Structure 1
């Protein structure tokens, strides 16, 4: 069956330019360029570790430049969360200016057939993501009725973590859970990071609902025990990212 390919120039890679946020300057670059830079310096910059963790979660779905249509919303949330972190770290323009030349040189070295002279937010994005709809591929069914993630408030955090660590297909859930609770435990889900935390929760809800399918499956896998929200946060601290 012939695939129907919808080319999305910007939706999943770089958001629309608003106030020249730092992430919009990445548009002329292939993601491999700035990711390589972060990997090289993650031992010096602790923020890069979190950004790399989040980007790798996103990148495994779009590395080939094509994703399935049912993954679009999820990948969009991951990409937007990465942008929030990137913009927060490089909120000082002089700080980002210091690495622009390095990124341009890396781009021209890694992709000599597509050289650039500067990081122009108005340029066409180098890396484009296509959304693929293929009738031959069975996609997870949409979750109807009450969503499994709404049952989380009844679940002991340690039981949920134990489940995610011991069952296949929960890797994304565990990474997102760890990233969120790292912020929650330090009361950092506010201000500039409120949007970031909300994006992580939305992404987690999507993979949680797809994994369990319905509330009944969730209840069978992880029965509730009435642990309070404060106890949940405290019990999670040893597992925090």
Structure 2
């Protein structure tokens, strides 16, 4: 706990809000997220795809970028954990702004553990996950009464850690962070029994002005996206619900 030199009294720690920023555009921030950003002393933020959310931050607030994207050199998670604790220990209110929703593929557990160990009060604030939003931005529902009664969300960041055989027979897969590993993902799915004509939708920059959508099949998606350059950040939806023209 920090001690004030002037008053020689302990400084009451601030609070940390771990907040979902949604898929990027300010339109998809929750009202609570906006209110917290407007009153924050410090905003520690990810690579959000769009900087819209930062427009709500007051001029005097400290902005700290801790983004990670596409394997580029970036700050380590332990440093982020320490940063949150230190800023709060100074008596400042911190918004930890995460892309999408903190519940989905973020290092939430590590940050919460650090805050607890440091005696820092915290609150979790949900956001709109791109896993749910991207299919709608691409023009189709994630669930369908006959084609997709359920869906499974998984990370494509490290295909070697996924039990692909366990996914065989599931109606719909939603893969986040899989753009760089698309060829490997296709191979793993084909090897575990997914039919070649399984529909695939790839949504890059979901919800942003530069959004691009490819409607394809498992056996042609690599060729269909060959002109794309980097597919990061993208969401891939695999299954009959992703078939082009479903709603027409």
Q: Larger Rg: 1 or 2?
A: 2
Pair in the same fold by TM > 0.5: no
Normalised to the residue count of structure 2, the TM-score between the two structures is 0.24
Looking at secondary structure, tell me which structure has more helix per residue: 1
